[in-house]
A = this chain, B = another copy of it.
């Protein structure tokens, strides 16, 4: 999952919940400026930032094994 995809999922999720950036910023504890930057495709958020946003949106950051069945 590429960064862009992740950004888009967050943005899409926020929109599907009908929440403004400002509200999400308050709910998540992430600064509005940071959120804006992030949703407009720029930036390289820290895991913590991503998780704060995820928590507020009912999203979860996970790390999974790629290509099951093709591993050592």
Q: Provide the bound-state CA to CA distance between A13 and B60, in Å.
A: 20
Residues of B within 8 A of A59 (CB): 63-66
In the complex, how many angstroms separate the beta carbon of A26 from the nearest chain B beta carbon?
18
Q: Is the CB of A10 within 8 A of B63?
A: yes
Please judge, given known A-B contacts A54-B63, A58-B67, whether A47 and B9 are in contact too, CB under 8 Å: no
One complex includes copies of this chain to the number of 2
Q: Which residues of A are in contact with B by a Cβ distance under 8 Å?
A: 1, 3, 6, 9-10, 13, 16-17, 44-48, 50-51, 54, 58-67, 70-72
Select which of B1, B46, B67 is within 8 A of A45 by beta carbon.
B46
Q: Provide the bound-state CA to CA distance between A59 and B64, in Å.
A: 5
